Amino acid sequence: MTLHALSAARRCAMGALVVICFSADARLVWSQTPFTAVGLGTPVLPIDARAAGMGGTGLGLLDGGSLSARNPADMGFYVRPVIGITYSPESISVKGPGQDLDSGRSRLGVLRGAVPFDDWTLGVAFASELDQDWQIEFADTLRSALGTFPFTEQRVSDGGVSSVNFTLTRRVAGVSLGVEYGIITGNLRQLFLRDFEADTADFQNRIAASAATTSWSYAGSRVRVGAATDVTDRIRLSADVSLQGDLTAERDSLDVLVQSTSFQMPTAFEAGASARVTPRILVSGAAGWTGWSGTEGSSAEFVASDVVWFGLGAELTGARLLGANVPLRFGLRRTDLPFHAPGTTQPTETAITVGFGLRVGAEQAKLDVAFEFGSRGDLAESGVEESFKRLSLSLALFQR
Amino acid sequence: MKKVLLVLATVLAAGSCTEDSLVGVDPTSPPGPSSETVELSIAVGDLPLWKDTTFVGYAVPSSSGIQLIATEPALTSRVLGRFSTLPDSIFVDTVRLAVERYESARLRLIVDSLAGPVLPDSGTELRMHGLTRGFDEREASWTEARAGESWTTPGGDLADLLGSVRVDSLQDTLFVPISVDSDSLLSDWLANDGELGYAVSSSADGSNLSLTALALVFDVKPEGQDTLIEVVRGPQPSTFIFSPMTPPPGEELRLGGLPASRVYIRFELPDTLDGVPLRGSRINRASVIFKSLGGPPDPFMTTDTLFASIFDLLTDPFEFGPKTPVGQNFGNFIELDPDVLATGGELDLNVTQLTQAWASAPADSLPDLRIGIRTLPEGGGVGYWEFGDISDPATAPRLVFLVTPPTEFSVP
């Protein structure tokens, strides 16, 4: 018996597929990998467009607050029922040694509503937590004793982790205290497809394709408590801490469990504040820490590190469009990313942000728009690098 | 309520994220679940079970689509036949009238010009003789008129010359005029169901003509009519005899020839091969590789490109023998390239479909792995190819697989 290793000679061109040829280097192992494919994926900022335009803050914002899925205590400042939804498409460019590869993704970042009554507020929020969406295609060639078969291979990861959060807030002596119970859920579909062309020497000599697919379902829980208060009518402070149980991923086939694995999920602290420094200028800042370093993968494909993040932003009011007040926003933010390849440095994400808001419908509805321009990682240091441009669109009712 | 919210959240999670494909990722390090396609090879002697054999007789000259007339150093062949369906009456307009007289007759030969007819520079003469001994069309050979009854003269006991034609150049259609009294000859054949038959041969060395059709064309005079009517009748039966006769196969595996040979195989596969699982894996390709023993001796060596096909066997051929019922064909026709096979090359027999069914079947209902291989069409010529069998490791068949083991999915 003989076992021949697959002779995988790269094709440097095949139609629209362009294969980048270079010698493998340990630090380049992850190159051209979208960040959503690293570790448990990319943590999704659960913020609305107002927060996104102000440096990704979203904690303790004055003047209408934020429908971000952060501190539940921030919901305690609403006096009328409120609901908002945020949609965030982004284009990315994954950097490679020879060529950048462009792609795009979109996600429903957060859907949040709150109903105040007396000193209490009940709320619910659906939020994206971890984005694991990615798909790649590449071309290669299988050389064998039976022929030379070019092939294209597609690998797809479709899904991620999201949460359903139930919040209860009470205002006590000017302080809003909030508690939130989050059900962590989600699913992930994985697909592998290798489609062979005919033998390069004989078009009638063909081999069958390979394909496999599976689905995972996620389950977990989280408790978050927070507090927020208006120190003065111009300054609001907000802080929260969240504790998570393990995230369980289960794979079944015909309703029979075939595989299960668990991940320790992190404890997180975050705090923020906003201040109206002039009648027309609101500044905000927020920072946080998430203890991802306790999370270990089921394989040695990645390491996880703690995350520190911060954001700074400002909102200028007074600009008008068609007679309506249009607040203008800008900011910047920086965050560590939790997952990276062994032997590489922890990647960071930085972005500058701009945005604006528009009240419509007798000012009962509010449309916020934010643009973020940033980058993640560093090809030389962390082995993965991508730049991104993100648009955030939020539509809210009765947000005041 | 919680269930509704969870469902809503799941729907939102599933629909909330979409990603365009990254095209052109470096193939040495793509992320995500995959499984390498590996090439595996095993000699049939290392399989848990391998039985092979050659069965003969699936086509004989009388049932083949050709008829050979040859006078070559390596091959002599004659066509034998009987015109057993001559009419004694004939329709004229709407009236059937008795045949008063067979006025004239000629033998019409359609030459297969694509089969590489050979004619010496000096041309040849095609001769039609009567026979002095009848023959059995399924058993007739160069030496025997029927089983156990030898010709007095090998090649057929020829009687008088019935007609001949000089052939100086190749033509698609040839006519051999009957030079004896047509009425007497055809009346005799009519009275005796064509017995004892006729033989057609070539006189000059170096000729070889393959016929696709042969017929008797004759003019009859109906009773009470002055006109002659042309009638065509084919021989029934028709065959050809040739020398040397095809040697019986030995242990080697033979495809083709006359009588036609098939290779029947039964085998079993191991669950794993070199540590790679076959059962449960995706069989991208499975091939039985035959090693040619080179060209057989003349005249059984062929320069024509033949084709073969693989088919399923419904029962064990080693119990039921040559009449084992056959099932579906697998895959495309397989080209038997004389340039490759004459030099000891290999023949790739694609058995992917069969092994895929085996690899994906439940362990308690594994299909039997049995195949037959035959040439297409069977009996298309006297040439055949021989391949090594399991008895000689140097030329024994082997199996080659391209296998993708089950993908191991994981979240990181």
Residues of chain A contacting B28 with CB distance shorter than 8 Å = 10, 24
Which of B12, B19, B34 lies at the smallest CB-CB distance from A108? Answer: B12
Interchain proximity B274–A162, CB inside 8 Å = no
The alpha carbon of A322 is separated from its chain's Cα centroid by a whole number of angstroms, namely 35
Q: How many CB atoms lie within 10 A of CB A275?
A: 17
User: Sorting pLDDT into bands at 50, 70 and 90, what band is B13?
Assistant: very low
Residue A210 near chain B (CB below 8 Å): yes
pLDDT of residue A151: 94
A-contacting residues in B 139-158 (Cβ below 8 Å): none
User: Sorting pLDDT into bands at 50, 70 and 90, what band is B292?
Assistant: very high
CA atoms of B76 and B143, how far apart (whole Å): 12
CA distance readout (Å), A286 to A311, B197, B214, B407: 5, 110, 100, 44
Residue A221 near chain B (CB below 8 Å): no
Which of B287, B352, B411 lies at the smallest CB-CB distance from A261? Answer: B411
* Residue of A18, A31, A131, A146 to mutate, interface with B, max B Cβ within 10 Å: A146
What structural domains and CATH numbers belong to chain B?
A: 38-59+247-404 (2.60.120), 76-243 (no CATH)
Give the closest-approach CA distance of A186 to chain B in angstroms.
Answer: 5
Residue A3 near chain B (CB below 8 Å): yes
CA atoms of B10 and B195, how far apart (whole Å): 87
B-contacting residues in A 347-386 (Cβ below 8 Å): none
Instruction: Tell me if A397 sits within 8 A of A364, measured CB to CB.
Output: yes
| Overall average pLDDT of the A126-133 stretch | 92
Give the up-direction half-sphere exposure of residue B279: CA atoms within 13 A in the CB hemisphere. Answer: 12
- Predicted confidence (pLDDT) per residue in B308-339, tens digit: 999 999 999 999 999 999 999 987 789 999 99
Tokens of A258: 């075939």
Instruction: Tell me if B194 sits within 8 A of B234, measured CB to CB.
Output: no
Interchain proximity A208–B284, CB inside 8 Å = yes
pLDDT of residue A2: 33
CA atoms of B11 and A111, how far apart (whole Å): 13
Interchain proximity B37–A210, CB inside 8 Å = yes
Judge if the upstream peptide bond of residue B244 is cis by omega within 30 degrees of 0.
yes
Residue A57 backbone zone (phi > 0: left; psi -120 to 50: alpha; other: beta):
alpha
Task: Please count the helices (runs of H) and the strands (runs of E) in chain B.
Answer: 5, 28
pLDDT of residue B341: 94
Eight-class DSSP state of A199:
B
More confident residue, A8 or B59: B59
pLDDT of residue B17: 54
Query: Which residue is closest to A131 within chain B, CA to CA?
Result: B17
- Predicted confidence (pLDDT) per residue in B147-166, tens digit: 999 999 999 999 999 999 99
Interchain proximity B16–A214, CB inside 8 Å = no
| Overall average pLDDT of the B185-201 stretch | 94
Residue B276 near chain A (CB below 8 Å): yes
Query: Which residue is closest to A94 within chain B, CA to CA?
Result: B22
Interchain proximity B412–A6, CB inside 8 Å = no
Give the closest-approach CA distance of A164 to chain B in angstroms.
Answer: 6
H or E, element range at A380: helix A379-382
Interchain proximity B17–A128, CB inside 8 Å = yes
Say if residue B2 is exposed, middle or buried (CB neighbours under 10 Å; 0-12, 13-18, 19+).
exposed
User: Sorting pLDDT into bands at 50, 70 and 90, what band is A32?
Assistant: low
pLDDT of residue B11: 47
pLDDT of residue B23: 62
User: Which of A67-76, A297-306, B296-305: highest mean pLDDT?
Assistant: A67-76
pLDDT(B382) > 80? yes
pLDDT of residue A19: 26
| Overall average pLDDT of the B119-123 stretch | 85
A-contacting residues in B 354-373 (Cβ below 8 Å): 356
CA atoms of B318 and A181, how far apart (whole Å): 71
In the three-class reduction of DSSP (H, G, I as helix; E, B as strand; rest coil), residue B88 is classed as coil
Instruction: Tell me if B331 sits within 8 A of B355, measured CB to CB.
Output: no
Residue A400 near chain B (CB below 8 Å): no
Alpha-carbon radius of gyration of chain B:
31
Residues of chain A contacting B275 with CB distance shorter than 8 Å = 3
User: Dihedral of the CA atoms B331, B335, B341, B345 (nearest 10)?
Assistant: -50
H or E, element range at B10: helix B2-16
- Predicted confidence (pLDDT) per residue in B235-256, tens digit: 999 999 999 999 999 999 999 9
pLDDT of residue A12: 27
Closest CA to B274 of B403, B407, B391, B368: B403
Residues of chain A contacting B6 with CB distance shorter than 8 Å = 164, 183, 185
Average pLDDT of chain B, as a whole number: 89
Give the up-direction half-sphere exposure of residue B363: CA atoms within 13 A in the CB hemisphere. Answer: 5
Q: Can you give the pTM of this predicted structure? A: 0.79
User: Sorting pLDDT into bands at 50, 70 and 90, what band is B143?
Assistant: very high
In the three-class reduction of DSSP (H, G, I as helix; E, B as strand; rest coil), residue A161 is classed as strand
pLDDT(A300) > 80? no
Instruction: Tell me if B88 sits within 8 A of B218, measured CB to CB.
Output: no
Residues of chain B contacting A214 with CB distance shorter than 8 Å = 33, 407, 409
User: Sorting pLDDT into bands at 50, 70 and 90, what band is A343?
Assistant: confident
CA atoms of A3 and A69, how far apart (whole Å): 54
Alpha helices in A210-264 (DSSP H): none
Beta partners for residue A389, in sequence order = A91, A373
B-contacting residues in A 117-176 (Cβ below 8 Å): 124, 126, 128, 131-140, 142, 144-146, 153-164
- Predicted confidence (pLDDT) per residue in A311-330, tens digit: 999 999 988 887 778 999 99
Q: How many CB atoms lie within 10 A of CB B309?
A: 16
More confident residue, A382 or B193: B193
In the three-class reduction of DSSP (H, G, I as helix; E, B as strand; rest coil), residue B6 is classed as helix
| Overall average pLDDT of the A171-190 stretch | 94
DSSP state string for A3-43: EEPPEEEPPSEETTEEPPP----GGGTTTT--GGGSTT-EE
Query: Which residue is closest to A164 within chain B, CA to CA?
Result: B9
Tokens of B342: 């004459």
